[in-house]
Amino acid sequence: MADLHAISQKWQKRWEEEKAFLTPNESPKPKYYCLEMFPYPSGYLHMGHVRNYSIGDAFARYKRMRGFNVLYPMGYDAFGLPAENAAIKQKVDPAAWTFKNIEGIKKQQKQMGLSYDWTREVQTCVPEYYQWNQWIFLKFFEKGLAYKKKGLVNFCPSCKTVLANEQVEEGKCWRCKSDVEKTDLEQWYFKITDYADELLADIDKLTEWPDRVKTMQRNWIGRKLWIDIDYEIEGTGKRVTVSTTRPDTNFGATFVVIAPEHSLLQEKVIPPNRRKDVEAYITAAKKKSAVEREAEGRKKTGVFTGLCCVNQLTGRKMPLWVADFVLTTVGTGVVVGVPGHDLRDFEFAKEFNLPIVRVVVGKDGDTSEITKKEQVQEEEGKMVNSGFLDGLDIHEATAKVMTFLEQKGWGKKTVRYRLRDWLVSRQRYWGTPIPVIYCETCGMVPVPEKDLPVVLPKDAEFTGEGNPLEKSHSFLHTKCPKCGGKSRRETDTMDTFVDSSWYFLRYCSPHDTKQPFDKTAVQKFMPVDQYIGGIEHAILHLLYARFFTKALRDLGMLEFDEPFTRLLTQGMVVKDGAKMSKSLGNVVDPGEIIAKMGPDTARVFILFTALPEKELEWSDTGVQGSYRFLNRVLRLAEEMPAFAPEKGSRENHILSKLHKTIKRVTEHIETFRLSLAIGALMELVNDLSKYAEKPVHEKTYRETVGALSVLLCPFAPHVAEEMWELLGREGLCSLASWPAFDESKIDLEAEAQEAMLDAVAGDIRRVLDLTKMAQPGKITLIVSPVWKYKLYGLLKQEMEKTRDMKQLISVCMDEKELRTHGQDIMKVIPAMVKEPARMPETLLTQGQELALLKSGAEHLLGLFKAKIIVESADESKEAKAKSASPSKPAIVIA
């Protein structure tokens, strides 16, 4: 077995020496931007990374060989908590820790033989990069897209910082999984909600994104038409505004529920006799965390306020309750209870004995009183007991009652989003300082552009208590840019997702010192044609990057709306059914595989074993298989077979196979079915090995193996280069052009079948001759049922309609029929009928051609009112006797 690791080192050195993969900004070739989500440098390369880069590199290499000027860069998302935690625990400088990790991961990436243009490397933790975060922040601030406000925020007690809504998963911190607390704090936000409509609408433009991701984003943005309805609170002169998306069921409303945190409850509206109970409930509810609420399940709690509202539609008095299942963050924080048609309302009504009214009859037709939760009809049905809405479908009813309520002045339609503004400030050190100063006299002052960057101080101390920036004197104290007076800096830093929201623009002009990116360069390379990364960023990063793109466009810096044209979300790498993790002990170190069996083995295994989107189950024997495969391929170039002087039918076969393979591999790479592309290569290798067992035509063999090495290059570039060299080819295989496939070569195989087809055609001719003199009912056609008749039904139908050959042909050639039955087949018919002996040039397989011939024969027989009997060949000894070749169908004229 060859030393694939040594081979890889040899070629990596060559690539570097020859600067093989640099991307010029100016090039006559069309551009192609292929990008992988840049990694957080945690210190080691894991299989998920290897998979990500194997996919991306294969594609980038393929596009490069197709003649594109491929921008394929790499960088590091280098700010973040782990560095700071390391600083606290190990007393190291977060910067030093991060740079060390970057060097480690980069070394491994280089060992993989990835074809990045390393001169474009970007690191987000250096001032040369993050000053532009600050610059963009200032631009956003000027436009009102960055603002500070006090409000209920998510706080992670373990990370000691606030989190964006997108970073809270099931009430827990996305990074450390601690329970998130809700606290009232003043924080910085980006106004992503300004773009909610466009972010939603433009999802439709993302035709090459996975549906899953698009659905998740749509749901996250959550645009809905609501109606806010005002109810008078009896005897108080006050009003309460409920909000709902389902006013169709309003005739069934029997109570109103208000969230415990609602401001109305702070006004003195509660009757004195109820005040104590209500206040006790509110206090208890506020103490409960989101997780505690969840732990209680759906069990409903609540307290009656002693107040009532009146439903204008029915005149019904509706008691006003306080309950914690109603959330202040949704709608107006007050809901109208329709227990017949909302499960939560039903549970609440059951708990507190509130009346339940049916206003919808569902598909089940049940009109009885609603007493069980199975009867609660939420999704579909027709209105009943609802006055002017009766008989309408619930959706029609919704529209009608909304308009009605608005006309009456009782309600107001409102579009609401689930999406909230992006909370970007973090109380941590290792991030981009927010460029704002607080002056004792002038108040909040943004740092002037000329004073950027605001650099992280070196004198910070990492105690684990509080934000180190708050205690760094060199950082904290400064002069007011306006009045020169005493002032202090903002100590919050930016969410690291700010860094990753525009890094793909920076790659276009990575060394620009005057601006975040050069507009001309960006205009040239953007948008990213192919983006590859994990599904875990379906909302977070991908939504933020889309927002940034639109915001920067409105600042006049970009001229496109969406950053990523095509998105591939790769699947996870698992072992023994679980995600690889240190704690489970099922981690396979890529470095080890690379050292033992070479990077190409790892790459081919990963790409071959599963389609990129799917989960990949790690298998050590599978890795062995890939290793064997690469050795077999390499041997094709190492060990030349015996040569024969002449070309023969075997050459036809191998060339046909080669061109079929080129076609398949090309199509499979384009559609990211990389495992199938490699499978096709394996087939070719199998055929080549067989071919090489006997003496081969040298030129054909060398050409085929040469083409194979080019086809292999995206997946196993080092082995491909080695083969290329062994074959004595010039230059680098990586820079060779992608082979084109030749349809006529693919058809070569058909030639081999010619003799047999001639024989069949001969039979048809005999049928034709005989039918001329045959008496109706005297001709029997015996056909083996092995051959299936694609056109059987069609022709049989046509036989009944027409006796005219020309007419039949024109019917057969009808466009609709062509579409239905396939152009390739249909175009054969006229040629065959005209001159049955000569087979037309088509892409038909043997089976299709024979089927066609026979259906043609049957049709002709039909024209002469002959009798056709189709039966098994072996049922007729005569048939068997007359059949010259066993694989040929028997056509017998009796």
Partner RNA sequence: GCGGGGAUGGCAGAGCGGUCAAAUGCGAUAGGUUCAGGGCCUAUUUCCUUAGUGGAUACGCAGGUUCGAAUCCUGCUCCCCGCACCA
What minimum distance in Å lies between the beta carbon of 673 and RNA? 6
**Least gap, CB of 720 to RNA (angstroms):** 18
User: Are β-strands 616-617 and 573-575 bridged in parallel, bridged antiparallel, or unpaired?
Assistant: parallel
DSSP single-letter state for residue 304: E
Cα–Cα distance measured from residue 840 to residue 829, given in angstroms and rounded to the nearest whole number: 9
Q: Say how far apart CA 63 and CA 23 lie, in whole Å.
A: 13
Contact segment (CB under 7 A) with RNA among 128-136, 388-396, 679-687, 717-725 equals: 679-687
Q: Are 183 and 224 in contact (CB under 8 A)?
A: no
Among 20, 587, 611, 863, binds RNA (CB under 7 A): 611
Using the minimum distance from each CB to RNA, give the nearer residue, 169 or 835.
169
Q: How many CB atoms sit inside 10 A of residue 635's CB? A: 15
Nearest-10 Cα torsion for 89, 91, 97, 100: -110
Contacts of residue 277, Cβ cutoff 8 Å, sequence gap at least 6: 303, 304
CA atoms within 13 A on the CB side of 821: 23
Question: Which of 104, 355, 457, 622: binder of RNA (CB under 7 A)?
Answer: 622
Among 59, 137, 325, 497, which residue interacts with RNA (rule: CB under 7 A)?
A: 325
Among 785, 803, 804, 878, binds RNA (CB under 7 A): 785
Nearer to RNA, 449 or 743 (CB): 743
Q: Which of residues 247-276 bind RNA (CB under 7 A)?
A: 259
- The secondary structure of residue 250, as a DSSP letter, is G
Report in angstroms how near the CB of residue 108 gets to RNA at its nearest.
Answer: 25
Counting beta carbons within 10 angstroms of the beta carbon of residue 773, is it exposed (0 to 12), middle (13 to 18) or buried (19 or more)? Answer: exposed
Chosen residue from 333, 468, 527, 836 binding RNA by CB under 7 A: 333
Q: Of 82, 306, 641, 679, which one interacts with RNA (CB under 7 A)?
A: 679
What is the rounded distance in angstroms from the CA atom of residue 797 to the CA atom of residue 791? 10
Residues 6+ apart with CB under 8 A from 637: 705, 709, 722, 723, 726, 727
In the bound complex, what is the minimum distance in angstroms from residue 802's beta carbon to RNA? 18
Binding mask 399-418 for RNA (x = CB under 7 A): -------------------x
Cα atoms in the 13 Å half-sphere on the side-chain side of 826: 17
Question: Which residues sit opposite 359 in a β-bridge?
Answer: none
Residues 604 and 626: beta-carbon distance below 8 Å: yes
Question: Applying CB under 7 A, which part among 65-73, 196-204, 288-296, 829-837 lies near RNA?
Answer: 288-296
Q: Does 615 bind RNA (CB under 7 A)?
A: yes
**Minimum gap (Å) between residue 674 Cβ and RNA:** 11
Q: Is 754 in the site for RNA (CB under 7 A)?
A: no
| From candidates 614, 801, 819, 834, binder to RNA by CB under 7 A | 614
Q: Taking CA 717 as the corner, what is the angle to CA 715 and CA 723, rounded to the nearest 5 degrees? A: 120
Residues 375-394 within binding reach of RNA (CB under 7 A): 379
Pick between residue 98 and residue 311 the one whose CB is nearest to RNA.
Answer: 311
Nearer to RNA, 506 or 664 (CB): 664
Q: Which residues contact 241 (CB under 8 A, 6 or more apart)?
A: 228, 229, 230, 231, 332, 334
Q: What is the largest CA-CA distance in the chain?
A: 116
Give 178 or 846: the residue with its C-beta nearer to RNA.
846
Structure tokens at 277: 């109970």
Which of 583/621 has CB closer to RNA? 621
In the complex, the smallest distance separating the C-beta of residue 574 from RNA, rounded to whole angstroms, is 10
Sole binder of RNA in the list 157, 845, 869, 894 (CB under 7 A) = 845
In the bound complex, what is the minimum distance in angstroms from residue 325's beta carbon to RNA?
A: 4
CA 109/CA 12 separation, integer angstroms: 11
Report the run of H or E that residue 540 belongs to, with start and end.
Answer: helix 540-554
- Residues 693-732 interacting with RNA (rule: CB under 7 A): none
Work out how close the CB of 508 gets to RNA at its nearest, in angstroms, rounded to a whole number. Answer: 32
Site for RNA in 86-145 (CB under 7 A): none
In sign, the C-alpha dihedral spanning 527, 533, 538, 540 is: negative
> 718 in helix, strand or coil?
helix
Q: Which is nearer to RNA, 109 or 661 (CB)?
A: 661
463-471, 552-560, 610-618, 800-808 -> range binding RNA (CB under 7 A): 610-618
Decide: is 591 part of the binding site for RNA (CB under 7 A). no
**Which one of 119, 329, 515, 807 is in contact with RNA (CB under 7 A)?**
329
User: Measuring CA to CA, which residue among 3, 96, 97, 5 is closest to residue 42?
Assistant: 97
Footprint on residues 188-207 left by RNA (CB under 7 A):
none
Short-list 604, 686, 598, 689, CA closest to 638 = 689
- 679 or 830, CB closer to RNA? 679
- Of 36, 57, 324, 499, the one binding RNA by CB under 7 A: 324
- Taking CB under 7 A as the binding criterion, the range among 293-301, 442-450, 738-746, 769-777 that sits at the site for RNA is 293-301
Binding mask 209-248 for RNA (x = CB under 7 A): --xx--xx--x--x-x------------------xxxx--
Q: Give least dist CB 848 to RNA, A.
A: 7
Q: Which of 313, 312, 328 is nearest to 239 (CA)?
A: 312
Contact 254, 322 (CB under 8 A): no
The residue written with tokens 């393929």 in the block is 62
- For RNA, which stretch binds (CB under 7 A), given 83-91, 98-106, 386-394, 847-855? 847-855
Hey, which residues does 644 pair with through a beta bridge?
697
Q: Which is nearer to RNA, 34 or 794 (CB)?
A: 794
Classify burial at 571, counting beta carbons within 10 Å of its beta carbon; exposed 0-12, middle 13-18, buried 19 or more: middle
Q: What is the DSSP letter of 638?
A: H
Taking CB under 7 A as the rule, does residue 608 contact RNA?
Answer: yes
Q: Which positions from 625 through 654 interact with RNA, judged by CB under 7 A?
A: 625-626, 628-629, 631-632
Which residues within the stretch 790-819 sit at the binding site for RNA (CB under 7 A)? 790-794
Q: Does 289 bind RNA (CB under 7 A)?
A: no
Q: Among 106, 575, 673, 718, which residue sits at the site for RNA (rule: CB under 7 A)?
A: 673
User: Where do the DSSP E strands lie in 430-494?
Assistant: 436-439, 443-446, 477-479, 486-489, 493-494
The Cα 444–Cα 556 span in angstroms is 26
The CB-side HSE value for 483 (13 A sphere, CA atoms) comes to: 12
CB nearer to RNA: pick between 771 and 855: 855
Report in angstroms how near the CB of residue 207 gets to RNA at its nearest.
15
Q: Which residues, including other chains, have CB under 8 Å from residue 541's CB and lie 6 or more apart?
A: 37, 497, 500, 501, 533
Stretch that binds RNA, among 71-79, 86-94, 296-304, 762-770 (CB under 7 A): 296-304
Closest approach of RNA to the CB of residue 877, in Å: 12
330 binds RNA (CB under 7 A): yes
Among 19, 238, 408, 690, binds RNA (CB under 7 A): 690
Shortest Å distance, C-beta 39 to RNA: 21
From candidates 92, 200, 588, 676, binder to RNA by CB under 7 A:
676
Which of 314, 569, 656, 675 lies at the binding interface for RNA (CB under 7 A)? 675
Tokens of residue 654, six digits: 């191998």
Stretch that binds RNA, among 24-32, 482-490, 668-676, 827-835 (CB under 7 A): 668-676
- Distance between CA atoms of 286 and 289, rounded to whole angstroms? 8
| # residues near RNA by CB under 7 A | 82
Q: How far is the CB of 197 from RNA (least distance, A)?
A: 17
Sign of CA dihedral 329, 333, 337, 338: negative
C-alpha to C-alpha distances, 741 to 133, 729, 745, nearest whole angstrom: 48, 20, 8
* CB 857 to RNA: min, Å: 15
